[in-house]
């Protein structure tokens, strides 16, 4: 490290080599010649969509997967079985109430002849623990471990300089407080700090683990519109439940009275369009990042030659560096805009 | 016009890609303006760098949000 630049370090070179082999791992499924008649372009598209979507099993390496519980609430009662039983293409599992089959990512009910029964499938509620649910729990446990240890360190070492993990986390917390919360919310910031810190670190850790290309990572949780939608709904409620009389007056009584019919609908739309923009921004940014990285690797298979691999690996390493930046930036922007919206709702007019 | 478009679409692929490209042009112009003006402002007033940066990122996020709306619509449509 004497030269100072991270690019010259041995550690970085080893990482570069590891990144090359590990990035190829998720594709061993697509690369294996299951049906060579298929267009490589189509196969690449399938593999990418499979990677960025949710799934009922948890891929470890190549075709090895961990089965996850499938929990179905049917009109005849609850049904629980392992996803290993329906994982193979077209395999049917005979449960207590119906028989089930996996079609794409959805569990469908099949009748005796093996055909998908759409009418009954609609009555089945799928509460399965999917890959995204497992990865959400994993990152939640990780966050709890990190922050419980940090907070206990603050209690133990009160008044002393931070140490270890504490000194890594403290600048981020101070950054959220001084650069995000206080400029946008003023002196009332303390009430919203827990929310902002939770949102910031939840998005950050999921973005970062999502970039890791091998087993426990590599999921696309913050690129799942349901997850970002939930975060956005929380912000919607926080903003509107904390809105003071100036906030509501701004919405329901614009200044010249004849603007009522135009301004009130516009303001009501703007209440909902802000969280929707938050949702779409995070979802589209993370999904786009994953798609770009995977498409660059797919180029090797689309062109069908190994000579393209130096180019695509170089681009993927470049993209991954940008993705690390984007992981921080998106967590920051989501928190910043949330703080801005909350600040607009609680500001006193003068 | 519509007929030509339909013919082109069937020959070369989805016209939604065109929408995504147009959105990228719009966002490129927007973010370019924001970045350029922010650098100018920082050159004039280096002491205001943190405030300028925050506002730059907010504005860039809003522009990007519109572009991403267009990309999502293009992907679905």
Contact flag A281-B50 (C-beta cutoff 8 Å) = no
Bridge partner list, A71: A80
The C-alpha atoms of residue A303 and residue B28 are separated, in whole angstroms, by: 30
| Spatial distance between the Cα atoms of A160 and A308, rounded to a whole number of angstroms | 54
Chain B residues lying within 8 Å of A337, measured CB to CB: 58, 61
Higher pLDDT, A243 or A24: A243
Top residue of A178, A281, A336 to mutate, by most chain B CBs within 10 Å, is A281
3-state secondary structure chain B: CHHHHHHHHHHHCCCHHHHHHHHHHHHHHHHHHHHHHHHHHHHHCHHHHHHHHHHHHHHHHHHHHHHHHHHHHHHHC
pLDDT at A119 over 80: no
Decide which of A112 and B52 is more confident.
Answer: B52
Residue of B nearest to A178 (CA): B50
Query: By the 8 A CB rule, do A229 and A284 touch?
Result: no
* Residue A239, pLDDT score: 93
Distance CA A100, CA B47 (A): 65
How much is the pLDDT for A272? 93
- B69 contacts chain A (CB < 8 A): yes
Considering the entire predicted model, what is its pTM?
0.81
A10 — pLDDT class (breaks 50, 70, 90): low
Q: What angle do CA B61, B65, B69 make, to 5 degrees?
A: 170
Residue B6, pLDDT score:
67
Residue A92 forms beta bridges with which residues? A101
| Percent of chain B whose predicted confidence (pLDDT) is above 70 | 82
- HEC string for A321-350: HHHHHHHHHHHHHHHHHHHHHHHHHHCCCC
Architecture of domain B2-76: Up-down Bundle (1.20)
Whole-number Å distance between alpha carbons of A93 and A101: 6
CB spacing of A329 vs B57 below 8 angstroms:
yes
All residues of chain A having their beta carbon less than 8 Å from the beta carbon of residue B72 are: 280, 283-284
Q: Report the pLDDT value the prediction gives residue A218, as an integer from 0 to 100.
A: 78
Q: Do B61 and A333 touch (CB under 8 A)?
A: yes
Give the helix/strand (H/E) hosting A11: helix A10-24
Complex confidence, ipTM: 0.70
The phi, psi pair for A79, rounded to 5°, reads -145, 125
Question: Would you state the pLDDT for residue A33?
Answer: 44
Specify the DSSP element, H or E, that contains A79: strand A77-82
Quote the pLDDT of residue A29: 45
Q: What chain A residue is nearest to B74 in terms of C-alpha separation?
A: A284
HEC-encoded secondary structure of A234-272:
HHHHHHHHHCCHHHHHHHHCCCCHHHHHHHHHHHHHHHH
Choosing among A45, A280, A286, which should be mutated to test the B contact, i.e. which has the most B CBs within 10 A? A280
B30-49 residues touching A, CB cutoff 8 A: none
Q: Tokens 């008044």 label which residue?
A: A159
pLDDT tens string A248-284 = 888 888 777 788 888 888 889 999 999 998 998 899 8
Question: What is the dihedral angle through the alpha carbons of A143, A147, A148, A154, rounded to the nearest 10 degrees?
Answer: 170
Whole-Å CA distances, B53 to A102, A111, A240, B56, B59: 49, 61, 28, 5, 10
The yes-or-no verdict on residue A36 having pLDDT over 60 is no
Distance from CA of A18 to the nearest CA of B (A): 32
C-alpha span between B77 and B75 (Å, rounded): 6
Mean pLDDT of the region B44-51: 90
pLDDT in tens, A210-255: 888 887 777 888 988 899 999 999 999 999 999 888 888 888 887 7
- Which residue from A minimizes the CA distance to B53? A179
Whether A190 has a pLDDT exceeding 60, the answer reads yes
Taking an 8 Å cut-off on Cβ atoms, the answer to whether A336 and B72 are in contact is no
Q: Is the model's pLDDT at A193 over the cut of 60?
A: yes
d(CA A186, CA A177): 11
So where are chain B's domains? Answer: 2-76
Which two tokens mark A333? Answer: 């922007």
The answer on pLDDT for A338 being more than 80 is: yes
Instruction: Find the mean pLDDT for residues A310-333.
Output: 90
Do A55 and A130 meet the contact criterion of CB atoms below 8 Å apart?
A: yes
For chain A, percent of residues with pLDDT exceeding 70 = 89
């Amino acid at each position: 490290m004497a030269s100072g630049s991270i690019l010259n370090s041995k550690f970085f070179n080893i990482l570069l080599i590891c990144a090359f082999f590990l990035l190829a791992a998720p594709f061993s499924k697509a690369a294996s010649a299951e049906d060579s008649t298929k267009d490589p372009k189509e196969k690449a598209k399938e593999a990418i969509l499979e990677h960025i979507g949710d799934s009922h099993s948890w891929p470890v390496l190549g075709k090895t997967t961990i089965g996850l519980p499938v929990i179905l609430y049917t009109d005849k009662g609850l049904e629980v079985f392992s996803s290993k039983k329906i994982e193979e293409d077209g395999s049917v599992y005979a449960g207590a109430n119906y028989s089930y089959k996996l079609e794409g990512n959805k569990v469908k009910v099949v009748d005796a002849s093996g055909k998908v029964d759409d009418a009954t499938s609609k009555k089945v509620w799928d509460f399965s623990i999917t890959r995204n649910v497992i990865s959400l729990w994993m990152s939640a446990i990780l966050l709890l471990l990190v922050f419980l240890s940090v907070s206990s360190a603050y209690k133990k070492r009160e008044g002393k300089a931070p140490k270890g993990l504490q000194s890594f986390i403290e600048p981020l917390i101070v950054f959220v407080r001084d650069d995000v919360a206080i400029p946008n919310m003023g002196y009332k910031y303390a009430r919203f700090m827990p929310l902002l810190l939770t949102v910031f670190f939840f998005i950050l850790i999921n973005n970062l683990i999502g970039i890791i290309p091998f087993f426990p990572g590599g999921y696309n949780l913050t690129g799942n519109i349901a997850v970002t939608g939930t975060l956005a709904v929380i912000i919607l409620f926080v903003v509107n439940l904390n809105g003071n009389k100036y906030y509501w007056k701004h919405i329901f009584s614009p200044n010249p009275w004849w603007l009522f019919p135009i301004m009130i609908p516009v303001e009501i739309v703007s209440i909902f369009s802000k969280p929707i923009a938050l949702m779409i921004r995070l979802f589209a940014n993370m999904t786009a990042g994953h798609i770009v990285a995977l498409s660059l690797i797919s180029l090797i298979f689309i062109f069908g030659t190994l000579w393209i691999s130096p180019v695509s690996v170089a681009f993927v390493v470049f993209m991954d560096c940008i993705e690390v930046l984007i992981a921080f930036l998106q967590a920051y922007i989501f928190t910043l805009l949330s703080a801005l919206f909350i600040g607009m709702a609680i500001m006193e007019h003068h | 016009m519509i007929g030509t478009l339909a013919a082109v679409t069937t020959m070369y692929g989805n016209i939604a890609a065109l929408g995504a490209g147009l959105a990228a042009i719009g966002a490129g112009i927007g973010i370019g303006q924001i970045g350029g003006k922010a650098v100018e402002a920082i050159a004039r007033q280096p002491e205001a760098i943190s405030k300028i940066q925050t506002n730059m990122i907010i504005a860039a996020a809003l522009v990007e949000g519109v572009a991403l709306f267009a990309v999502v619509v293009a992907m679905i449509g």
